[in-house]
Amino acid sequence: MNMLRVLLILSLAALSAEAARKPNILVIYSDDHGWADLGANGVDKDVRTPELDALARDGVRFTQGYVTAPQCVPSRAGLMTGRYQQRFGVDNNNKGPLPVEEKTIAERLKAAGYLTGQAGKWHLDIDGAKKAHRMMREHMPHAQGFDEYFRGEMRQFYASHDLQGRPFPDSPHLVTDARFRVEVQTEAALSFLERRKADAERPWFLYLAWFAPHVPLESPEPWFSRTPSHLPKERRQALAMIAAMDDGLGRIRRKLAESGADKDTLIFFIADNGAPLGKAWDGSLNLPMRGQKGMVSEGGNRVPFVAAWPGRIPAGTVHASPVISLDVAATALAAAGLPADPALDGVDLIPRLNGAAATPRTLYWRWGSQAAVLEHPHKLVLLGDRTKLLFDITDPAGEDAEADLLKRRPEIAEALEKKLMAWAATLKTPGLPTSFDRHHEELFATAGITKAPQGAGISTPQDEWICRNGKAERRDGALRITPEGTKRPFIARTGIDLKGPITIVLKGAGAGGKGAVSWRTEGQEDFLPANVRDFDWPADGQEEMVMLPTMQKVIHLRLMAPAGGTQAGLQSIRIMAPNGEKVWDFSGR
């Protein structure tokens, strides 16, 4: 009986120690990484991210994960502090550096006994106020709570330790490494983890910021050779760089497992903002969201967002409610046993992921001449003092100019605007934007979020396509293509006039099958055999994305319906390119 009592006491003590153990915390940020480029999001089958997908299976994939800005510096400032960066004046890339008096996650966790490390891109030490973009040593990671660091983007890094773990006596010490940057940044993270073996009981916090797939684009091997050769070079480079990050994540998780730290580590993986398009395209995609980096649209602020913590986050969770990068700090502090700080703007996500009742959230953005507020499912967007837009982001149409609810639900827009104004009044520079940026007006129109301004050269045509070897008619919410004769039917459209790379998104109606697209570029008198791409014609309600491997201006398209004499249909055709977008909606919305 006494022995049973002793065993019971020991078991309870072990459980108590397990509950009291502070977890390690790993936060990973990718760079200019679009929502489509996470395999688990299921957008593009060319994306291969097995390690990230495994992380999502082991934890949670956030389908509505946001960052605080569609640009690097403010997004990172919000992440690192857990506070809207406009509260301390880091509104955009030209408003850095991060003030040293602002407490970072690292500084807060040190109070709980954590050892802290940083690897990769920092960018919070850039003197943007003078537009000189001069790096300031007094704002480097060591001045913001990091004990160890390997700060750098491309070939030069300022470090506290070398990659073999030896400390530099003159840190921050300049290190030059000519290898592909993701490999170097991954090795810096692995070196930090290796050094933790000497004091395995002490919890640690590591912030790893990969500089990818941000430009300059590279073709790192062995990953580049594994990408589909028919894709545009920029797309292949982006996929290769993303694959290198994915492999790096796998190496890091195996390292954690080897030391037994995998069960005691909370991991976040988030992108800093959406992918840029246009001339600055880095090969990444934001589909099905509209817009890009530099826009408070979903394409600019909604990003790949995954977290895992064995035993604390239920494996295989898909979380559809909005979360934001601000939540990382609040979650990390709660996990470390620190009291909640009302100065933080985020929330502890763990109770929500374990079924606790959650109060509705309101998320805010202000960047440049744009502002937005989201109270699920409605999002209000303000462009300067001229344009207001209201969307239901759960609507499959998304932020489409035709889906604007402003005139239909003015009471929702008014209530959201009041909340946005109240939030903006608390910022370092109070108020909402009143100026207007013509460039961004055109970007919103290019993405089909607003109507094109007169003379902008952007159109959203609704007229029918020409059908050959069959008959096409608008019926029952779709364009129905019925074969006539033995030849394969197709629909064709001239006047496309979009410069590659081209992405086509088709939404099906009826049965699927094997389809094909062929195209003619400017200067070509006829369709060439090389300009053909097979694809799976989408079934009813499904979407299929097809990329055309050309950088030339496409002037003429043919969409060949499945062979076999069966009727095919499309609810919509959406064609996107850096210089514009065209949409044909046959659904009668």
Q: Give the percent of the chain with pLDDT over 90.
A: 67
What share of residues in the chain are helix, strand, coil (percent, to 5)? 25, 30, 45
State phi, psi for 130 to the nearest 5 degrees.
Answer: -95, 5
The reply to whether 191 falls in a domain is: yes
- Using pLDDT thresholds of 50, 70 and 90, give the confidence band for residue 303: very high
Per the structure, the complete domain to which residue 580 belongs is given by 466-585
369 in the same domain as 352: no
The reply to whether 461 falls in a domain is: no
- Using pLDDT thresholds of 50, 70 and 90, give the confidence band for residue 129: low
531 in the same domain as 434: no
Domain boundary among 339, 359, 379: 359
The reply to whether 16 falls in a domain is: no
pLDDT tens digit sequence for 187-246 = 999 999 999 998 989 999 999 999 999 999 999 999 999 999 989 999 999 999 999 999
Q: Is 257 helix (H, G, I), strand (E, B) or coil?
A: helix
pLDDT tens digit sequence for 7-63 = 444 443 343 444 468 999 999 999 999 999 999 999 999 999 999 999 999 999 999
Task: Tell me whether strands 370-375 and 378-383 are parallel, antiparallel or unpaired.
Answer: antiparallel
Task: Report the number of distinct structural domains present in the chain.
Answer: 3
From CA 74, how far away is CA 67, in angstroms rounded?
Answer: 9
543 in the same domain as 413: no
Does position 371 have pLDDT exceeding 80, yes or no?
yes
The reply to whether 2 falls in a domain is: no
569 in the same domain as 423: no
- Using pLDDT thresholds of 50, 70 and 90, give the confidence band for residue 501: confident
Active-site residues: which are they?
72, 123
CATH number at residue 485: 2.60.120.430
158 in the same domain as 51: yes
349 in the same domain as 374: no
pLDDT tens digit sequence for 517-550 = 999 998 887 888 889 999 999 988 888 888 898 8
474 in the same domain as 437: no
The reply to whether 15 falls in a domain is: no
Secondary structure, 3-state, 370-402:
EEEEEECCEEEEEECCCEEEEEECCCCCCCCHH
**pLDDT average, residue stretch 348-370:** 93
Q: Is 480 helix (H, G, I), strand (E, B) or coil?
A: strand
From CA 408, how far away is CA 397, in angstroms rounded?
Answer: 16
- Using pLDDT thresholds of 50, 70 and 90, give the confidence band for residue 327: very high
Cα 287 → chain centroid: 10
128 in the same domain as 57: yes
